[in-house]
């Protein structure tokens, strides 16, 4: 789990939290990146994306660091899942149910239409608007959508709710059809909706007089889904145990990362399962008990010595507790076993540089260059690469790396300055020069837009220049 943000600007290679990478600097919500989590999201959503008639290459499921139980669609084809939703889901089938529903919004083009119809409220297409109310009740700061609830614009709200309710129903139906086509049971979808409904009752929002009108997660909605799901041949289909095991791992490590203290309570020492060890490894690591964290990682490796994510975890703990030289062989092994996971490669690059051994720099450069070619949405990788260019005295390419990093972090001003510096030192019309020019132009545009419209607040689409 990797934290980037302002930390990324520090050259110090001390306790960076790797594997869950936070790469959302401009907006209120931060994106968490983790190889194992992204792989699971991809594998459980791919059949649903296909069933929706969408291109799996274009659709992304992205994890946001946010405790509230929510999911929404933004930026066209990106499904955002809150960390709070993932830790609240009881099984992988529930998560698939949520993703199927959100894909219903994507395929229905709901976001575009909402942009036209509902002004400031467009940025939340949520599982249930009641969740927004629940979040407000829990003291969350209002975002664009919640602002409407606060404003007391009842008339506008009524229109918006009717509009939203129609979209919710259509997303429900679409989601149900994707689950059916993909041969996935709708049981989880229903379970999760009911779980949300119970939460609403606990918060007593149901007694609001406007409830019937403003409540998209109605009993009717659940009944409609029940009828569809029960008839489906996949209804009784059990959950794939392999997927479920992966889900339990991802949930446990996220829990350990997000809230170490809670993780220790949920996964006490008596829990000797893989998720138990996983959650505690992160919790101890974040709580600065490196020895206990390593021992949990070793327990995991005893069950599966080749597992690239267990190796990544151990390497991360060693690296971040100041033992880069011990981390290097462990991370090399991890990269070897998961060659298509660039974020692990970046961690290896980080360890190689942190070893402060000149002999390791060539390998670091090679590893990091390959990583940014595969996944150019990792500001930390560019930070590391920039350090290598600096070390080599290649100032223009160090500037280009800085431009790339600032572009990804949403700092067009700094990206522009660095891109200009890079262009002055790199021979014209070479690939690196053209890349610097691209960033220059994109940044220039972004600055113009910022001036016109004020600062953008919607989450940036990962992998695309701002």
Nearer to Zn ion (CB atom), residue 168 or residue 404: 168
Nearer to Zn ion (CB atom), residue 51 or residue 100: 100
Nearer to Zn ion (CB atom), residue 38 or residue 168: 168
- Of residues 169-188, which lie at the interface with Zn ion (CB under 5 A)? 171
Residue nearest to Zn ion (CB): 171
Rounded CA separation 403/338 (Å): 29
Nearer to Zn ion (CB atom), residue 216 or residue 256: 216
Nearer to Zn ion (CB atom), residue 168 or residue 377: 168
Rounded CA separation 330/311 (Å): 6
Nearer to Zn ion (CB atom), residue 168 or residue 326: 168
Stretch that binds Zn ion, among 163-171, 251-259, 319-327, 343-351 (CB under 5 A): 163-171
Total number of residues that touch Zn ion (CB under 5 A):
2
Nearer to Zn ion (CB atom), residue 226 or residue 244: 226
What is the closest distance, in whole angstroms, from the C-beta atom of residue 315 to Zn ion in the complex? Answer: 39
- Of residues 349-378, which lie at the interface with Zn ion (CB under 5 A)? none
CB contact at 8 A, 331 and 351: yes
Region label for 75, one of left (φ > 0), alpha (ψ between -120 and 50) or beta (otherwise): left
Residue with tokens 């992998």: 463
Q: Is the dihedral of CA 444, 397, 390, 360 positive or negative?
A: positive
Tell me the per-residue interface mask from 122 to 161 with Zn ion, x by CB under 5 A, - otherwise.
----------------------------------------
What is the closest distance, in whole angstroms, from the C-beta atom of residue 101 to Zn ion in the complex? Answer: 6
Exposed / middle / buried, residue 437 (Cβ in 10 Å: 0-12, 13-18, 19+): middle
What is the closest distance, in whole angstroms, from the C-beta atom of residue 26 to Zn ion in the complex? Answer: 25
CB contact at 8 A, 378 and 33: yes
Give the orientation angle of helix 290-303 with respect to helix 274-286, to 10 degrees: 160
Nearer to Zn ion (CB atom), residue 113 or residue 448: 113
What is the closest distance, in whole angstroms, from the C-beta atom of residue 31 to Zn ion in the complex? Answer: 20
What is the closest distance, in whole angstroms, from the C-beta atom of residue 119 to Zn ion in the complex? Answer: 19
DSSP structural state of residue 358 = G
Residue of 149, 29, 24, 131 whose CA lies nearest to 70: 131
Nearer to Zn ion (CB atom), residue 172 or residue 404: 172
The rounded radius of gyration (Å) of the Cα atoms in the chain is 23
Give the containing element (helix H, strand E) for 31.
strand 30-33
Nearer to Zn ion (CB atom), residue 165 or residue 466: 165
What is the closest distance, in whole angstroms, from the C-beta atom of residue 59 to Zn ion in the complex? Answer: 16
Stretch that binds Zn ion, among 167-175, 180-188, 404-412, 440-448 (CB under 5 A): 167-175
Stretch that binds Zn ion, among 33-41, 166-174, 369-377, 378-386 (CB under 5 A): 166-174
Using DSSP, state whether 180 is helix, strand or coil.
helix
Distance of CA 164 to the CA centre of its chain: 25
Give the containing element (helix H, strand E) for 196.
helix 187-202
Indicate whether 196 belongs to the interface with Zn ion (CB under 5 A): no
What is the closest distance, in whole angstroms, from the C-beta atom of residue 105 to Zn ion in the complex? Answer: 6
Rounded CA separation 127/97 (Å): 11
Region label for 385, one of left (φ > 0), alpha (ψ between -120 and 50) or beta (otherwise): alpha
What is the closest distance, in whole angstroms, from the C-beta atom of residue 127 to Zn ion in the complex? Answer: 5
Stretch that binds Zn ion, among 28-36, 168-176, 295-303, 360-368 (CB under 5 A): 168-176
Write out the two tokens for 88.
């609240």
Half-sphere exposure of 424 (CA within 13 A, CB side): 9
What is the closest distance, in whole angstroms, from the C-beta atom of residue 175 to Zn ion in the complex? Answer: 9
What is the closest distance, in whole angstroms, from the C-beta atom of residue 353 to Zn ion in the complex? Answer: 44
**161 contact partners, CB below 8 Å, separation of at least 6:** 129, 213, 214, 216
Stretch that binds Zn ion, among 13-21, 162-170, 322-330, 417-425 (CB under 5 A): 162-170
User: Which residues lie near Zn ion (CB under 5 A)?
Assistant: 168, 171
């Amino acid at each position: 789990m990797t934290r980037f943000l302002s930390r990324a600007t520090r050259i110090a290679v001390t306790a960076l939290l790797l594997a869950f990478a936070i790469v959302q600097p401009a907006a209120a919500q931060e994106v968490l990146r983790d190889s194992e989590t992204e792989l699971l999201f991809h594998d459980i959503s791919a059949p649903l994306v296909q069933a929706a008639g969408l291109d799996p290459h274009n659709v992304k499921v992205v994890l946001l660091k946010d405790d509230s139980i929510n999911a929404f669609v933004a930026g066209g084809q990106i499904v955002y899942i809150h960390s709070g939703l993932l830790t609240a889901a009881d099984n992988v089938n529930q998560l698939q149910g949520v993703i199927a529903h959100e894909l219903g919004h994507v395929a229905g083009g709901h976001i575009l239409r909402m942009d036209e119809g509902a002004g400031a409220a467009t940025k939340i297409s949520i599982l249930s608007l009641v969740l927004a109310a629940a979040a407000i009740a829990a003291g969350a700061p209002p975002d664009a959508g919640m602002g409407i609830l606060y404003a007391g614009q009842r008339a506008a709200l009524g229109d918006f709710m009717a509009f939203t309710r129609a979209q919710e129903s259509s997303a429900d139906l679409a989601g149900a059809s994707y689950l059916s086509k993909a041969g996935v049971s709708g049981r989880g979808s229903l379970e999760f909706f009911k779980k949300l409904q119970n939460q609403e009752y606990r918060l007593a929002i149901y007694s609001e007089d406007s409830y019937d009108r403003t409540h998209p997660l109605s009993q009717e909605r659940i009944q409609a889904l029940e009828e569809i799901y029960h008839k489906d041949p996949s209804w009784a289909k059990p959950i794939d145990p392999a997927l479920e095991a992966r889900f339990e791992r991802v949930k446990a490590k996220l829990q350990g990362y997000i809230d170490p203290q809670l993780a220790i309570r949920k996964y006490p020492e008596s829990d000797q399962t893989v998720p138990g060890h996983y959650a505690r490894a992160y919790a101890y690591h974040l709580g600065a008990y490196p020895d206990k964290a390593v021992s949990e990682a070793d327990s995991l490796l005893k069950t599966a010595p080749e597992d690239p994510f267990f190796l990544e975890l151990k390497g991360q703990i060693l690296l971040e507790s100041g033992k880069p030289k011990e981390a290097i062989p462990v991370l090399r092994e991890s990269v070897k076993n998961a060659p298509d996971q660039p974020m692990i490669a970046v961690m290896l690059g980080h360890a190689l540089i942190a070893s402060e051994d000149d002999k390791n720099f060539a390998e670091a450069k090679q590893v990091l260059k390959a990583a940014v070619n595969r996944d150019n949405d990792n500001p930390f990788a560019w930070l590391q690469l920039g350090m290598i260019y600096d070390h080599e005295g290649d100032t223009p390419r160090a500037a280009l790396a800085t431009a790339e990093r600032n572009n990804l972090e949403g700092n067009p001003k700094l990206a522009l300055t660095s891109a200009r510096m890079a262009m002055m030192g790199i021979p014209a019309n070479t690939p690196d020069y053209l890349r610097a020019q691209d960033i220059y132009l994109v940044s220039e545009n972004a600055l113009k837009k910022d001036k016109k419209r004020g600062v953008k607040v919607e989450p940036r689409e990962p992998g695309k220049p701002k």
